[in-house]
Structure 1
Amino acid sequence: MAIFRRSRAAPEPFDATRYATSWLLSPFFFGCLRLLFSLFAFATLFFTFGWDCTHSLCESAEHSFSYFTDLTYWGLAFYYLFAALHSLSYAIRGRAWLEGWGRVLGWLHGVFYSTITVFPFLVTIVFFALLFEGSFTSTTDAYRNISMHGLNSLYALVEIILPRTPPHPWLHLVPIILILAAYLGLAYLTYHLDGFYVYDFLDDRIHSRGIVAAYCIGILVGTCIVFVIVRYVIWARVWLTERRWGMEGKFSRRDGMRTRSRDVEMVHVRHKG
């Protein structure tokens, strides 16, 4: 398969169907599963807003958009929503909505996919390594933190294992690093505008600037390591499911081109047998 072949030729064109389909689940069921995940994520976010504002914590809700955890969780919610629409549109029409987006938006969707399969693991690692104090203060606090710092990685893992997506292109590391740099700017902008650091390890009043820089570099290196691991886990999934098991994917009955291709292949196999 071209996905595993080393070549100096131009990379394969963007295949929207790979992002809309699964090697295991039918497009319709896969779309419904993605939609369910999206609804849970949005429900968690809006419940958090509602709870904070009904318990005199509206300021906390306003500041949530300064936290990388919350921004990443919003990203997961929206990715799963659009991914569900792509899968369901493919199931119903035989053509994913994503196919009509054009090359640039298709590439950006691929970058979006890379971020939601990398950043959640970073959030989980940083939270439990640096921020978690050993217990939750209430049931609501437990629900919020488990959803945003634990289930977020489950969301990412599902999108790594179930779709037919190709491995992350190395080029996607560039926007991922730029997003981290932009967030660092947002964190310090929040301090200058609102007077607080979103994360203590960024506070140079508590730590020396060298320690703060070390934390930032460590997170950058950790992100790159997670990216590489995720990339090769996806590579292994594609190799195992498509090359070893011959599970090319579950396609819509309305996708005439792929249906004809599969029928021709079956006839060829029968004739050969």
Structure 2
Amino acid sequence: MSDPEKKTPEAQFDPDHRFVTSYFISPSALAVIRILIAIYTLVTNLYVLIRLGVRSHEADQFLPYFTNLSYVGQCAYFWAAGVQTIFYVRNDGSGYPLQSWPKVLRYLHRVLFSTTTTYPILVTIVFWILLADASTFATPYSAWANLSRHALNTVFALFEIGLTNGGPLVWIDIVPCVVCLGAYLGVAYITHATQGYYTYSFLDPVKEGKLLAGYIIGIAAGECIIFAIVLGATTLRSRLVNRNKEA
């Protein structure tokens, strides 16, 4: 005999449908906005990649950069979130497919939400403080590409943080966020060993010396601080929304 108290996977994961709703706009409008952002980030990624391949024959230099990896992840999130929101609308608000998918996929979506709302902010801060120079706006293309990947990326993250019901972040998810950052160091140094260049100049141990450790620790600490701020912001937003519903 089945236990009437036993919850279904749908009830266990996101019972309030926070990942597919907004306190500010309707689910239909949220689905449209997410899909539009997904299309924009996809077109940006494809254009940058194709341009690298056709004009400079350096398509292999696309993925080694954390900026591009983060933007690809953000693109993936908005496609996933947008499609799930569309199904939620089609189901008249009764649920969405991810709720009944394997637990690992539900967990990965939660982690993807965490990276989508923290990595872009980290990328934006690091770029404008350490990497931006005269070439940033040298041409219309460089201006558009840099603004898309180092400014709009944070706008998209802030949209999810401030205007949806997504989250709040969970402390334990800081672990995969930091682990992925650490894993990127391996990508950067493998790239140098195989292709002969550092993706970011501050990762050069010869040039930076003892400062290298400071940069690495500082960026990891920055991610932790950003995670804590986003966690606090999403928790506060969630409480305020719930309080308004109860009022």
Q: Under a length normalisation based on structure 2, what TM-score does the superposition of the two structures give? A: 0.90
In angstroms, what is the RMSD of aligned CA positions? 1.6
Give the secondary structure class of the aligned counterpart of 1:58: coil
Asked if 1:68 is matched to 2:69, the reply is no
Asked if 1:14 is matched to 2:13, the reply is yes
The aligned counterpart of 1:85 is: 83
The aligned counterpart of 2:160 is: 159
The aligned counterpart of 1:191 is: 192
Deviations 1:164-202 (A, max 9, x none): 123211100110111011101110010111111000000
CA distance in 1, matches of 2:50, 2:62: 13
CA distance in 2, matches of 1:51, 1:186: 22
Identity across aligned pairs (percent)?
36
CA distance in 2, matches of 1:104, 1:41: 25
Question: 1:31 deviation in Å?
Answer: 0.7
**Aligned structure 1 segments of 4 or more residues deviating by more than 4 angstroms:** none
Structure 2, unaligned runs of 5 or more: 1-10
Asked if 1:117 is matched to 2:117, the reply is yes
CA distance in 2, matches of 1:101, 1:189: 35
Q: Under a length normalisation based on structure 1, what TM-score does the superposition of the two structures give? A: 0.82
Deviations 1:46-78 (A, max 9, x none): 1112333332x121x221100000000001111
Flag the structure with larger Rg: 1
Kindly tell me the number of residue pairs found equivalent between the two proteins.
233
CA distance in 2, matches of 1:199, 1:120: 16
Is the contact made by 1:49 and 1:58 (CA closer than 8 Å) also made in structure 2?
no
CA distance in 2, matches of 1:169, 1:79: 17
The equivalences for 1:246-265 within 5 A come to 246=245
Structure 1, unaligned runs of 5 or more: 1-11, 249-273
The aligned counterpart of 1:205 is: 206
CA distance in 2, matches of 1:146, 1:78: 19
Question: 1:96 deviation in Å?
Answer: 0.8
Larger RCO of the pair (alpha carbons < 8 Å, separation 6+): 1
Deviations 1:218-251 (A, max 9, x none): 00001100000000111111122221x2289xxx
